[in-house]
Amino acid sequence: MTVLGQPFIILDSVNSTNNYAMGQVHAHLASHGAAYFAIDQTAGKGQRNRIWKSAPGLNIALSVVLEPGPLVAHQVFVLSAFTALAAHEFFQKWAGDETRVKWPNDIYWRDRKAGGILIENLLKGPVLTHSVAGIGMNLNQTRFPPDLPNPVSLKQITGSEYNTIEMAQSLCGVLEKWFQLYQTEGKDFIMSRYQEVLYKRGERVRLKKDSRIFEGLIKSVNDDGKLVVLTGELEEEFALGEIELRV
């Protein structure tokens, strides 16, 4: 099977690397391993129909095509988990041990957001055939739009400038490592490692669900990708989009 990041295709400008990659998959022009890097991503996609904003030429905007093997819809969180672990390892190498994964798959340094991941899946009936893992990572940007509440970049942390293309290729290599670990060690290994780097795990935090604001202790994330929170004596599970962590 082709290594992730091969071929590595550089796009001068595209609305969304995920849209482009998925279009290539639908047209049978992309298979496992193909990576699409945008110098300028004009309408990047985030979780829950949000926009991922990134200054042209300064950051990583990358989408990688995956063929992870037979999975059904309720099993797909493991793809987010190993992608998040790869992004975490990549960023931690430069930014240090204060790097964490904020549920479900944002990369945080201290209490600030350094990167985000969007996994989009192509199903044939109940079975997943392809996934596109989109990763946005702040590298060299130091000025951000005022509506972004808590961004941070690697340059702000380290003071250094980074070659975005070389860094994206390096990220593909780390993603390949974690894909192979998923293939050989399985879901339980991936989920166990994911818990180890989970942002605020074991801490009490403020949470918001609809109009309800409450405190809870973050315990874990289950195999379905739900956040497990201890609220008083009650253990509750929350799906993506159902709850907001108030940082």
| Residue 57 maps to a domain | yes
Question: Which of the residue ranges 71-75, 82-86, 211-215 would you say has the lowest mean pLDDT?
Answer: 71-75
What does the pLDDT read at residue 53?
A: 72
| Residue 42 maps to a domain | yes
| Residue 31 maps to a domain | yes
| Residue 1 maps to a domain | no
Q: In whole numbers, what is the pLDDT of the chain averaged over residues?
A: 92
**CATH number for the domain harbouring residue 236:** 2.30.30.100
Does residue 205 register a pLDDT over 70?
Answer: yes
| Residue 59 maps to a domain | yes
pLDDT, mean of residues 229-239:
92
| Residues 125, 72 share a domain | yes
Between CA 227 and CA 35 the distance in angstroms is: 30
| Residues 179, 106 share a domain | yes
Contact 40, 34 (CB under 8 A): no
Cross-sheet strand order for the sheet of 234-238 = 234-238, 227-231, 212-221, 204-209, 244-246
pLDDT confidence bin for 46, thresholds 50/70/90: low
Does residue 52 register a pLDDT over 70?
Answer: no
Q: Where are the alpha helices (DSSP H) in 32-136?
A: 77-95
What does the pLDDT read at residue 95?
A: 98
| Residues 233, 150 share a domain | no
Does residue 51 register a pLDDT over 80?
Answer: no
Does residue 71 register a pLDDT over 90?
Answer: no
What does the pLDDT read at residue 47?
A: 59
Last residue of a domain, one of 196, 213, 232: 196
| Residues 29, 93 share a domain | yes
- Comparing CA positions, the residue from 132, 81, 84, 140 lying closest to residue 107 is 84
| Residues 109, 65 share a domain | yes
pLDDT, mean of residues 216-239:
94
| Residues 166, 91 share a domain | yes
pLDDT, mean of residues 27-39:
97
Does residue 244 register a pLDDT over 90?
Answer: no
Structure-block tokens of residue 175: 């993603």
| Residues 208, 138 share a domain | no
Number of compact structural domains in the chain: 2
| Residue 29 maps to a domain | yes
The set of long-range contacts for 119-123, using a CB threshold of 8 Å and a minimum separation of 24, is 119/76, 119/79, 119/80, 119/83, 120/18, 120/22, 121/73, 121/76, 121/79, 122/22, 122/25, 122/26, 123/73
| Residue 2 maps to a domain | no
- Structural domain for 59, as ranges: 8-196
Task: For 132-190, write each residue's pLDDT tens digit.
Answer: 999 999 999 999 988 888 999 999 999 999 999 999 999 999 999 999 999 999 999 99
| Residues 26, 111 share a domain | yes
| Residues 181, 236 share a domain | no
What does the pLDDT read at residue 70?
A: 77
What does the pLDDT read at residue 49?
A: 58
Better-scored residue on pLDDT, 14 or 50:
14
Does residue 48 register a pLDDT over 70?
Answer: no
Does residue 93 register a pLDDT over 70?
Answer: yes
| Residues 208, 160 share a domain | no
pTM of the model: 0.94
| Residues 103, 17 share a domain | yes
| Residue 117 maps to a domain | yes
**CATH number for the domain harbouring residue 88:** 3.30.930.10
| Residues 161, 65 share a domain | yes
